[in-house]
Amino acid sequence: MPDATPEQSAGATVDLEAAADQAIEACGGDLRATIVALIVANSMLERELADVYANTSHGYLRGRRALQREGNSS
């Protein structure tokens, strides 16, 4: 995949900043609550991905799986 142009990088940065602002606003400006909410959301996504892998046939994936994180037993 080619490297991102400066314009694409700048656009991605603006998008990330806007998303961060929205997350903070959704938590009433409490940064700790925002971090907790993001960790919970990330955990849910990781479990969902693990379920997808568990329910996808080995043949379809051709033996490829995402690398497991250390200490992640799910």
pTM, whole model, 2 decimals?
Answer: 0.63
pLDDT at 53: 83
pLDDT, tens digit, for every residue of 23-52?
999 999 999 999 999 999 999 999 999 998
The contacts of residue 72 (CB under 8 Å, 6+ apart) are 46
Q: How many CB atoms lie within 10 A of CB 71?
A: 5
Under the banding of pLDDT at 50, 70 and 90, the label for residue 74 is very low
Position 16 pLDDT exceeds 90: yes
Residue found under tokens 């080995």: 58
